[in-house]
């Protein structure tokens, strides 16, 4: 009980919340945490947008992101309390990297065989496709939140500040995922590009484990994502005149 009080007591301290919400300096820190969350979550947004393509109905895609949002909020609250122990959870990164590599292999394997590529989740099973997509979203939130929580705790030791910054950042990241999701509907080539990026993300996660300890800066990866988008959009519009002819 004492351990839980030490880990989560600050979240329920009203004075702590009042001090944070009324402090302009704390809000500057929160703003910086939101920016860090958005930068670190670019890869997460790409993965989430890709996973939702399994759902054919637009409302279900948006609903899966909404459910994933609340799951991410709950998990973030739990994780911030035990953030100091996350440095040892490199196994999560390995599992996440292998899972992402599997998604990439399955996508290109189905594309090579001429099958439909968007059926990443089989229709058969005890759970519906929708709930399996939601579970996948939650799993990837767990994988990608490790870096952002550790980075945030390194900036501020006050869990309330980290929590507020994380919650706002997650909301902004979900907005980015929805934009990517809508773009993928209009520009089919973005789906292939997304899986190439997922392969890079898998490598990025694997290289960051303590035994290898090669960190690709998040700002560099964000630049790669932007460049990939621009190239893919250019290819799409270059093909359009050829299709019309």
Burial of 12 (C-beta count, 10 Å sphere; 0-12/13-18/19+): exposed
- Give which of 161, 151, 224, 170 is closest to 41, Cα–Cα: 170
Q: Which residue has the tokens 């990439």?
A: 104
pLDDT of residue 77: 79
Q: What is the pLDDT of residue 167?
A: 84
Q: Which residues of the chain fall short of a pLDDT of 70?
A: 1-4, 6-7, 36, 39-41, 82-89, 114-126, 146-147, 150-151, 154, 218, 241-245
What pLDDT, on a 0 to 100 scale, did the predictor assign at position 243? 54
Q: Is 156 left (phi over 0), alpha (psi -120 to 50) or beta?
A: beta
Domain boundaries, the chain: 23-244
Q: What is the pTM of this model?
A: 0.63
């Amino acid at each position: 009980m004492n351990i839980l009080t030490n880990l989560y007591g600050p979240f329920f301290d009203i004075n702590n919340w009042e001090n944070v919400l009324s402090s302009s300096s704390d809000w500057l820190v929160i703003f910086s945490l939101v920016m860090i969350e958005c930068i670190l979550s670019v890869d997460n947004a790409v993965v989430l947008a890709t996973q939702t393509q399994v759902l054919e109905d637009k409302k279900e895609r948006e609903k899966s992101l909404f459910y994933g949002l609340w799951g991410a909020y709950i998990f973030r609250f739990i994780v911030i309390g035990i953030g100091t122990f996350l440095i040892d959870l490199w196994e999560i990164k390995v599992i996440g990297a292998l899972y992402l590599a599997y998604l990439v292999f399955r996508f290109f394997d189905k594309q090579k065989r001429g099958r439909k590529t968007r059926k990443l989740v089989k229709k058969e099973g005890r759970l519906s496709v929708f709930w399996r997509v939601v579970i996948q979203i939650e799993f990837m939130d767990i994988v990608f939140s490790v870096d952002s929580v550790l980075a945030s705790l390194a900036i501020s030791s006050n869990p309330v500040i980290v929590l507020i910054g994380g919650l706002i950042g997650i909301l902004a990241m979900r907005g980015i995922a929805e934009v990517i999701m809508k773009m993928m509907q209009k520009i089919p080539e973005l789906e292939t590009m997304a899986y190439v990026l997922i392969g890079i993300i898998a490598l990025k996660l694997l290289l960051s484990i303590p035994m290898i300890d090669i960190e690709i800066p998040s700002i560099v990866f964000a630049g790669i994502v932007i460049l990939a988008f621009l190239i893919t959009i250019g290819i799409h519009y270059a093909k359009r005149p050829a299709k019309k002819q």
